[in-house]
A and B are shown apart, each in its own frame.
Chain A
Amino acid sequence: MSAVVCDDVVKQYQDVRAVDGVSFEIHEGEIFGMIGPNGAGKTTLMECVEGLRHHDSGRIDVLGHDPAKASATLKERIGIQLQASSLPPRIKVREAFDLFASFYPRPVDTGVLLDRMGLTEKAGSYVAKLSGGQRQRAFIGLALINDPDLVFLDELTTGLDPQARLAMWDVIRDIRGEGKTVFLTTHFMDEAERLCDRVAIMDHGKIVALDTVDALIRSIGSGTKVAFSPDGPAPIAALEAVAGVTRVDEYGDQVIIQGDGDRLLQDVLDALSAAGQNAHNLKTEQPMLEDVFLALTGRKLREGEN
């Protein structure tokens, strides 16, 4: 069962196709991540799915509704954390929770929710005075106030310190643990790797790849790298014969082996000790989602940003 179905969705602004024929599905109960550089169209696409913007062509189905039409009924079942939004100035945390609870027919208990978000002590504080992490927790809390089936989180951890980001990931995993579906955008590769069940890579308004993180990494075919310095002359022929090895290079006294398979490292070391040698300065390097992005687009994700 799919929580979201997009079929050839297009959203055009003047000369720019912000979303250029995008098709994908989000399964119920998964954390679905969309990564891509700023301006790739992630937020525009997400807001079309939320019903806040109207796409020009294609079909969007969210929990069985057309978000452009069934606005109110659908909004009661989804929770939204927007990238560019805020609360009224001078509103306190508890007031914001009570206010938003009043917009829904069956809200959760605001006291329990505040507690779950770790905001009980801050309930009487102005939202504007919270720290970055606390404010993001407050915004997630508001997105969960109607006990939604589908939660949208747009650039949730941007601007958070590493510790607050880790804490936020736990919160999001908990949301999935309750059987809810999560659709998030991020431009942090590690966030997508560690958090998402499936990831779509978006660039120039198109989805260029969509799969689990492992499958995406396998798909670019550059497997594991093993680097070490042997005791003596490297047994090149024996190493090349190891199952899964695709390439062996020597750089001075260092040997770099590329290959695939979960037994690669073990087999290489076995071949080495069969030749009576030990490996020094052993290092392995796994390709990351960043490498997938690089392979697919020819650019680094954060290029031009730093």
Chain B
Amino acid sequence: MRAYRQLVTTQLKITLRDPANLFFALIFGPMLVLALGLIFGNTPRPEFHGLGYLDGALAPFAAMVVAIVGLMSVPIDIVTQRESGTLRRLRATPVRPRVYIAADVTIRFIITFVGTMLAFAVGMIAFGVRPIGNFGWVGLAACLGCAAFLALGYALASIYPTQGVAIGVGNILLILLLMMSGAMVPRAVFSPTIQRISDFSPLTQFVTLLRGLWNGEPWGSLWVPVVVLGVMLVVCAAAATKLFRWEPSGTS
């Protein structure tokens, strides 16, 4: 327990000292909301069914933070630590692997969740955007999304052979999922085939869930994204548990 506590405080400090982690997890989302809020404002518009721009944009921006952490920060950090021998040095101590992973998951979860909440908070405080639904449910859905995407991050880290692959594939995955999620381009402009394909993206499902709850839809009508994220969490967590490696490939 002492090791877990010390790991959480130390890892939290050193993770936030990394400018890329700090920026993408905690600053990028709120900054995006602030910038686009200042450009487009939140005046109700007929083409948004009487809602403002930010009413529809907060959920995708918050989801974007989660996707960046899960697809980029987590796998790249872990593969880098594996390649540099940081994980190896830990294996030379009696600290149990699952204690280390639990601490790492804890701090990543806290940072990512706070990042999503900050994105919502900026919209709500600076531009007076208000959820139609229960914000508590939105927060709960954000927890589910954070957990699912973090699990994906650890699974990817277990599969990637090198840091270069982690960065390259991570970028491609991130851009593809962001494009399809409707966070950057409205999904309405997609052809029906692309729309159909984008339904399979976990990020699209996460945005659907967050936005639905924000707009006051009941959980019952949002069972598809809940199931998708739930299955993703379980499958990726199982894969990461089975495949996680402490040593670079080619040594054992």
Beta-carbon contact of B14 and A86 below 8 Å: no
A90 contact set on B, CB distance < 8 A: 14, 17-18
Beta-carbon contact of B92 and A80 below 8 Å: yes
- In whole Å, how far is B9's beta carbon from the nearest beta carbon of chain A? 9
Q: Is A129 an interface residue (CB 8 A)?
A: no
Per-residue contact bits, chain A 73-97, to B (CB 8 Å; 1 contact, 0 not): 1011000101011111111000100
**Docked CA distance A72–B93 (Å):** 8
Which residue in chain A gives the minimum CB-CB distance to B2?
Answer: A102
- In whole Å, how far is A215's beta carbon from the nearest beta carbon of chain B? 33
Q: Is B95 an interface residue (CB 8 A)?
A: yes
**Docked CA distance A99–B8 (Å):** 10
B18 contact set on A, CB distance < 8 A: 89-90
Q: Which of A53, A71, A87, A104 contacts B89 (CB 8 A)?
A: A87
Most chain B beta-carbon neighbours within 10 Å: one of A72, A82, A85? A85
Q: Is A203 an interface residue (CB 8 A)?
A: no
Beta-carbon contact of A103 and B93 below 8 Å: yes
Contacting A at CB under 8 A, from B85-139, are 85-86, 88-89, 91-96
- In whole Å, how far is A36's beta carbon from the nearest beta carbon of chain B? 19
Which residue in chain A gives the minimum CB-CB distance to B99?
Answer: A103
**Docked CA distance A71–B14 (Å):** 28
- In whole Å, how far is B147's beta carbon from the nearest beta carbon of chain A? 23
Most chain A beta-carbon neighbours within 10 Å: one of B10, B88, B94, B252? B94
Which residue in chain A gives the minimum CB-CB distance to B80?
Answer: A89
Q: Is A98 an interface residue (CB 8 A)?
A: yes
Q: Is A149 an interface residue (CB 8 A)?
A: no
Beta-carbon contact of B6 and A82 below 8 Å: no
Q: Is A50 an interface residue (CB 8 A)?
A: yes
Beta-carbon contact of A89 and B14 below 8 Å: yes
Which residue in chain A gives the minimum CB-CB distance to B6?
Answer: A102
Q: Give 15 A-B contacts (CB < 8 Å), ordered by A residue.
A: A72-B96, A80-B92, A82-B88, A82-B89, A85-B92, A86-B86, A86-B89, A88-B11, A88-B14, A88-B81, A89-B14, A89-B18, A90-B17, A91-B10, A100-B93
B residues with CB within 8 A of A = 2-3, 5-7, 10-11, 13-14, 17-18, 80-81, 84-86, 88-89, 91-96, 252
